[in-house]
Amino acid sequence: MDIIPKLLEAADSFLMAPYRLFGNPVIGWWLGIFVLAMWTTLLGQLTMALVFRVNRKAVKETVEQVSNHHHQSMNALRSGNKPAYKAINKLANEAYGKTFFLQVAMASSSLWPVPLALAWLEIRFSSVDFPFPLNLPFLDGTVSFVFIFILVYIFTRIMFNGLKGWLHRGKGK
């Protein structure tokens, strides 16, 4: 039993609704693709927030390790103890690497809805080609839903992050 097709089938009428709001299929397409990108962004952001919350203690501990090792290595360097500096600096670099990759892994958790959105678009729009306004030698004058969705998704993520920053600045006043 494959759960992904069943999940996409269950979500189909919900995901398709924005595409059908207007009688004009072009307006419906752009509204639908934007709403899908927005849902994808929101679901990814919620997942990332949950993952950060679950891992908050581990991240805090590794960041503190990096800071402590950095201060210790600087103190060793100031005191002229080069072997201690190198040993502690090596520990600081290891802690930094651990922190870096932990944060990259947590941030990547926001991307898991993208393949689901693309799978649903494949089911619904795989036979549709969209005209591309530029004449490029590597394109036959058309693009698929993937190209359009990725561009709209990137735009939506940028917009969402700007809105999130604007809301945070508003709370601080």
Mean pLDDT value of segment 132-158: 88
Provide the 3-class DSSP secondary structure of residue 131: strand
Q: Which of 44, 32, 37 is nearest to 149 (CA)?
A: 37
| Residue 145: band (very low, low, confident or very high) from pLDDT cuts 50, 70, 90 | very high
Q: Which pLDDT belongs to residue 70?
A: 86
Percent of residues, the chain, with pLDDT higher than 70 = 98
CB atoms within 10 A of CB 19: 19
Mean pLDDT value of segment 123-135: 87
42 vs 98, higher pLDDT: 42
Q: Which pLDDT belongs to residue 172?
A: 54
pLDDT in tens, 66-87: 889 888 988 888 898 888 888 9
Provide the 3-class DSSP secondary structure of residue 1: coil
pLDDT at 173 over 70: no
Q: Which pLDDT belongs to residue 1?
A: 55
Q: Which pLDDT belongs to residue 155?
A: 97
Give me the amino acid identity at 50: L
Domain spans, the chain: 3-172
75 vs 171, higher pLDDT: 75
Mean pLDDT value of segment 29-42: 97
Q: Are 98 and 62 in contact (CB under 8 A)?
A: yes
**59 membership: H or E segment, kind and range:** helix 25-78
Q: Are 14 and 124 in contact (CB under 8 A)?
A: no
**28 membership: H or E segment, kind and range:** helix 25-78
Measured CA to CA, the distance from residue 166 to residue 32 in angstroms comes to 25
pLDDT in tens, 5-26: 899 999 999 999 999 999 999 9
Mean pLDDT rounded to a whole number for the chain:
89
Q: Which pLDDT belongs to residue 39?
A: 97
